[in-house]
Amino acid sequence: MEILRYDLVIVGSGIAGLRAATAAAWASGGKISIAILSKIQAMRSHSLSAEGGMSAVLYPEKTNDSLELHAYDTVKGSDFLADQDAVQVLVEYAPKEVRFLERIGVPWTREPDGRIAQRPFGGMSIPRTTFAADKTGFFIMSTLFSETRRFDDIHIYHEHFVTKFIVENGLFRGVTAYDLRKGEFKLFYAKAGIIATGGAGRLYRFTTTAHSTTGETLGYALRAGIAIKDMEFVQWHPTALVPSGILVSEAARGEGGYLINKEGERFMKRYAPQKMELAPRDIVSRAILTECMEGRGFQHESGMCYVGLDLRHLGEERINKRIPFIRELAHKYAGIDALSEPIPVRPAVHYTMGGIYTDTWGRVLTADGKWIKGLWAAGEAAAVSIHGANRLGSNSLSECSVWGRLTGEQAAKYAMETPALLSPEEKLVEAAKKEEGRIFDTLLHKEVNAPSPYEVKRQLNDILEEHFGPFRHGSSMAEGLAKLMKLREYTSFRIADSSRVYNQNLKDALEIDGMIDLALVVGLGAYARAESRGAHYRLDHPRRDDVSWLKHTVAYLYGGEIKLTYTPVTITKWKPEERKY
């Protein structure tokens, strides 16, 4: 087992992780050593597929915009579950981040006079979404990755799968990882750590996320004593291609696309008469599914029901200039020419509002609010809670960049202030060796009676799709929870591949092991919350209950069981009101 010593270890290499690395490298002036660990090659993170844009108030005088308005839109969009002090931080730092990204080379689309262009987006009252054609996430991610190549003290470890967080007495000590390429086990002994591993879209089957967005790191965090917050809020993005689930960006609706049902009517006027297609995502998703359930949707050959996204009236030039990727995707994966037919779309899981319980500045907390010294979390993996119960489009790229920078700078400062690491103690090395034994010796032998990990994953997807979908009901969720508990009883899997080098079978099994824990957190939180708020909609409690449920769900592991507790929402300016669009 190899032992590597670093000042800062960043787990996950999406926009949040890479931004943290560059911020830490600059803030420390080259004095600390930074390692970025990614379970796939570092530049292939799922941040690449973000299409729409990054929201920020850039030119307040020219567009009649203000930081107040952005904050209010975000809080209202979150169905008043967002922590308002954190939202203030977001809107204040986001314009600085857009300008920083512009300075390191992101090709933002420009207006003819050289200003950065902004477009309207769902839930935003004034156009404030900056974009780079419709591949914003790709350009930000690839530019940030190239930027990390400037600093020699950032070491990137591709294809290192983190298996365990080592936390002792409320202090972060390091992580253990399985090196896929060489088939070795490594211990990363570090002063500080940042968790930026992204969301958990692959808990469901019909999702816009990549195969790698599994969220098992959140399950491992639970086992290390870290608390998970608000995991029951899962966002369905209204427009995903049928049948592959590939995302059709909200930008299509932002540029003026219409949603039409079988009879050709723009049905959104019945659900959100003022904003129409640009209402927040939970409202539009539920609208589409209601149309389908009431029989006004089209039927696909695979059995899925869908509605049409109509771009024909936008004209070829506008489509080619502003949303060319959508045209390409529709042509390739659905065989549709966007200029002459509507694109078949249906809601798919896109984002998880919940994540690791952190405070306003990204510090990771246990269930009783104590900071685990040296550990931060940023991006989709963290729930600072600025998105509350529903995220507005284009706020996520802002969040990743802002908290990437904040946690990177804090971690660098912390690493410079703590004394240098000597070799790790016996206890730590023993724990790491035990972990290696668990992975290589226990899990890696052919258990004939155990199920294949892919079988378990299929069952997990089925349970979540059926019992914890966009429309939930108490009795159905109870049934789902019982099934999940049965699934949790599997402690080992049948792994057919016995080699050590690049054993994807083992990696998949480890992923599914963590995903089952996370699915239980989703299920328990959803079952307990007896109201409908944002993306969590219950048919047996269809109203929002601010009296008893204006609080965050915090889940933690105690005595081998998942327990729930609650913390209040920080309200500074806007009291909850009715959410109508």
Closest CB to other proteins among 244 and 570?
A: 244
Smaller CB separation from other proteins, 150 or 573: 150
Tokens of 89: 């931080």
Applying CB under 8 A, the residues found at the interface with other proteins are 26, 40-41, 43-46, 48-49, 96, 99-100, 102-105, 107-112, 114, 116, 135, 138-139, 142, 146-147, 149-150, 158, 181, 210-212, 244, 246-247, 301-302, 320, 324, 329, 332-333, 335, 452, 454, 495-497, 499, 501-502, 504-505, 508
DSSP code per residue over 235-251: EEEEEEETTT--B--TH
Angle between helices 216-223 and 504-528 (to 10 degrees): 70
Contact 568, 575 (CB under 8 A): no
Answer for the pair 272, 325: CB distance below 8 angstroms, yes or no: no
* Amino acid at the residue 33: S
Q: How far is the CB of 135 from other proteins (least distance, A)?
A: 8
Q: Smallest distance from the beta carbon of 446 to other proteins, in angstroms?
A: 11
Query: For residues 143 and 532, which CB has a smaller minimum distance to other proteins in the complex?
Result: 143
Of 142 and 570, nearer to other proteins (C-beta) is 142
Residue 70 annotated as catalytic: no
CB of 550 to other proteins, least distance (A): 36
CB of 270 vs other proteins, minimal distance in Å: 32
Choose among 302, 268, 266: nearest CA to 285. 268
Marked catalytic residue, from 70, 202, 237, 387: 237
| C-alpha closest to that of 575 among 16, 206, 76, 42 | 76
**CA 534 – CA 306 distance, rounded (Å):** 22
CB of 537 to other proteins, least distance (A): 28
Of 302 and 548, nearer to other proteins (C-beta) is 302
Query: Helix, strand or coil for residue 397?
Result: helix
Q: What does DSSP say about strands 34-37 and 2-11: parallel, antiparallel, or unpaired? A: parallel
Q: Give, in order, the Cα–Cα distances in Å from 524 to each of 354, 413, 538, 554.
A: 13, 38, 14, 11
Minimum CB separation of residue 144 from other proteins in Å reads 10
Rounded to 10 degrees, what is the CA torsion of 421, 427, 432, 437? 160
Using an 8 Å Cβ cutoff, are 158 and 168 in contact? no
We find the least distance from the C-beta atom of residue 499 to other proteins, in angstroms, to be: 7
Write out the DSSP string of 537-558: EESSS-S--HHHH-EEEEEEEE
Q: How far apart are the first and last CA of the chain?
A: 57
Within its chain, how far is the Cα of 109 from the centroid? 25
| C-alpha closest to that of 402 among 366, 420, 428, 378 | 378
**11 contact partners, CB below 8 Å, separation of at least 6:** 17, 37, 162, 175, 193, 194, 195, 196, 197, 217
Q: 260 Cβ partners below 8 Å, 6+ apart?
A: 266, 267, 307, 308, 310, 342
- Closer to other proteins by CB, 296 or 500: give it: 500
Residue whose CB is less far from other proteins, 24 or 377: 24
Q: How far is the CB of 203 from other proteins (least distance, A)?
A: 17
Angle between helices 504-528 and 474-488 (to 10 degrees): 150
Q: Which is nearer to other proteins, 216 or 232 (CB)?
A: 216
Among 70, 128, 173, 253, the active-site one is 253
CB nearer to other proteins: give 34 or 372.
Answer: 34
CB of 138 to other proteins, least distance (A): 6
Nearer to other proteins, 246 or 428 (CB): 246
H or E element that contains 148? helix 136-148
Looking at residue 32, the DSSP 8-state letter turns out to be S
Residue in the structure block whose two tokens are 């539009």: 284
Helix (H) or strand (E) holding 164: strand 160-168
**Residue 102 Cβ vs other proteins, minimum distance, rounded to whole Å:** 6
If DSSP codes are grouped into helix, strand and coil, which group holds residue 129?
A: strand
User: Closer to other proteins at the Cβ: 114 or 560?
Assistant: 114
Strand pairing class (258-260; 2-11)? unpaired
Find the shortest distance in angstroms from Cβ 244 to other proteins: 7
Considering Cα of 45, then 50, then 53, then 54, what sign does the dihedral take? negative
Verify whether residue 237 is a known catalytic residue.
Answer: yes
Residues annotated as part of the active site: 237, 253
